[in-house]
Amino acid sequence: QETDQPYRTGYHFQPPKNWMNDPNGPMYYKGVYHLFYQYNPDGAVWGNIIWAHSVSYDLVNWVHIDHAIYPTQPSDINGCWSGSTTILPGEKPAILYTGIDTKNHQVQNLAVPKNLSDPLLKEWKKSPYNPLMTPIDGIDPDLYRDPTTAWQGPDKIWRVIVGSQINGHGRAILYRSKDFVNWTRIDSPLHSSGKTEMWECPDFFPVSTSSTNGVDTSSQDKSTKHVLKASFNHHDYYILGSYMPENDKFSVETNFMDSGVDLRYDYGKFYASKTFFDGAMNRRILWGWINESDSESDDIKKGWSGLQSIPRTVLLSKNGKQIVQWPVKEIEKLRSKNVSFHDKKLKSGSVLEVPGITASQADVDVSFELLNLEDAEILDPSWTDPQLLCSQKKASVRGKLGPFGLLAFATKDLKEQTAIYFRIFRSNHKYIVLMCSDQSRSSVREELDKTTYGAFVDMDPRHEIITLRSLIDHSIVESFGGEGRACITTRAYAKLAIHKQAYLFAFNNGTSSVKISRLNAWSMKNAQIVSTTKRRKPH
Ligand code: DQQ
């Protein structure tokens, strides 16, 4: 197993085999976390899409149970695509999802649990009124999908949005309903944009401006802002604004693809994500789909494709201008062997091994102190695209303050390495922190997508130390820079740096020294992710 499948993960959510894409309808219900996901039961490529279903008591260990939603009706006979769960009054979950009907049109359907007293909600029945929403009045039947979690206004009327594109504008079509079955389309969309393509998997939810608690989707709390997320252009983009349920107006603070604003959940691979409100822990949790970076024939050979991110809590940042994300704290219970040090100077050109842990399956938390900020390179005003900047200034390109950071999945001789690092620039009287993930040397294998990713971290290094948390798991690294203000997730398929041949290093390839003020790294145990047949009773 070890050598056959070096890229299967130890603590990320994966089905035992086959294709997985979008997370669907996540929820917390009667003590159980539910995750549904887009799944091909017949192979490792996209197709035959149904909703597979897994349950958990802690968001870490999972049991795969029977598929929840699969084609049975004319309104979903050609596929059961993405959607969301809403918990209706009386603790009654309801799923809205996109069906592909007999004409291959996208329509919106409803399903509810067969037996509400089963906390695992194993069986679902579809509404006899399906489809509830259809592509009429100028909606393209190919561009109409992925209903969100619905929310209820103070008038008790339900609202939901569906992703679309009309006349070249990405759009959140808004519907209202009194009974969750009869839905009326509202003329003006919740929001739209002429600068984007089709909006897939929209998400719309409040975040608190006054506390670190998550907020229920239908909350009437006034101290909130709303997040609107849309998936397009291979990324999950979001904007912030204030939502007024009285007239369903969403006044935005920024817009999608505005010049100078580029708010994304993750600047690496992370798509079709979805949040839910976890009432047990008063937090909002985000799941995202991470696809492969190898070829389709490699996916077929390894028999699977697609991961889910580690679930992340989502909060508004202190300055209110963006959201911040952090891996749910339950994941920390998988931490085992620890290595830690502090106040270690990383001189120019140095590479420091982080020894004694399983470097292919680890959780690393490190903070860097800059000793000579005035050494920072001057930022050319034309360097506005962080990803481009990272791909021009790769980890091997010597700088002044940086590149410094971590080398994951590295061979001892550093021939293979996935570098997650920072570079500090100066622009007038401001400092700019660039965070990169460089996959160009991640594998001696060719024919892999080794795109470099980058993001600016909204922080002032004069007043804060620079922190990096990386969750490393065989073929994935999820990195959280600046306490979760910039996230970059990447896939890497080392050929040599696998299992015990994988090493972890800290490095500094700048001319100026930096100090590791603190580093903690842990080996991570495997999560128990099992199928019903092997299921043991939870305790
Ligand atoms: N995946 C689903 C669609 C959605 C897309 C189909 C996003 O519903 O728009 O598998 O990845």
pLDDT digits (tens, 9 = 90+) for 18-61: 999 999 999 999 999 999 999 999 999 999 999 999 999 999 99
Ligand 1 pocket test, pick from 20, 38, 95 with the greatest ligand atom count within 8 Å of Cβ, gives 38
The mean pLDDT of the chain is: 96
Strands 18-29 and 304-305: parallel
pLDDT reported for residue 298:
96
CB atoms within 10 A of CB 469: 19
pLDDT at 260 over 90: no
Q: List active site positions.
A: 22
Rounded Cα–Cα distance for residues 51 and 25 (Å):
9
Euclidean distance between CA atoms 270 and 276, whole angstroms: 17
- The finding on whether 146 has its CB within 6 A of some atom of ligand 1 is yes
| Tokens found for residue 531 | 């199928």
* Ligand 1 touching residue 98 (CB < 6 A): yes
Nearest-angstrom CA–CA distance, 69 and 56:
19
pLDDT band (50, 70, 90) for residue 87: very high
- pLDDT surpasses 50 at 185: yes
**pLDDT grade for 3, boundaries at 50, 70 and 90:** low
The predicted-structure confidence for 434-461, as pLDDT tens digits, reads as follows 999 999 999 999 999 999 999 999 999 9
**Predicted local confidence at residue 539, as pLDDT:** 44
CA–centroid distance, 258 to ligand 1, in Å, is 25
Q: Is 473 in the pocket of ligand 1 (CB under 6 A)?
A: no
Atom 10 of ligand 1, residue of closest alpha carbon: 81
pLDDT over 60 at 533, yes or no: no
Query: Which residues make Cβ contacts (< 8 Å) with residue 80, sequence separation at least 6?
Result: 49, 50, 51, 69, 70, 71, 97, 98, 99, 100
Residue 537 has pLDDT above 60, yes or no: no
Q: For residue 490, give the nearest of 520, 444, 448 by alpha carbon.
A: 448
pLDDT in tens, 268-290: 999 999 999 999 999 999 999 99
Tell me the pTM: 0.97
Q: Report, as an integer, the average pLDDT of 164-188.
A: 97
DSSP 388: H
Which letter, b or e, does each residue of 132-144 get, where b requires 16 or more Cβ atoms within 10 Å of its Cβ? bbbbeeebebebb
Residue 261: helix, strand or coil by DSSP? Answer: coil
Give the closest residue (by CA) to ligand 1 atom 7.
272
Q: Which atom of ligand 1 has the smallest separation from the CA of 200? A: 9
For ligand 1, is residue 81 a contact (CB within 6 Å)? yes
Residue 2 has pLDDT above 90, yes or no: no
Q: What is the rounded distance in angstroms from the CA atom of residue 8 to the CA atom of residue 392?
A: 31
Cβ–ligand 1 distance for 108 under 6 Å, the answer: no
Q: Which atom of ligand 1 is nearest to the CA of 201?
A: 9
Indicate the pLDDT class of residue 428, thresholds 50, 70 and 90: confident
Residue 21 Cβ contacting ligand 1 at under 6 Å: yes
Q: Is the pLDDT of residue 183 over 90?
A: yes
pLDDT tens for 113-159 read: 999 999 999 999 999 999 999 999 999 999 999 999 999 999 999 99
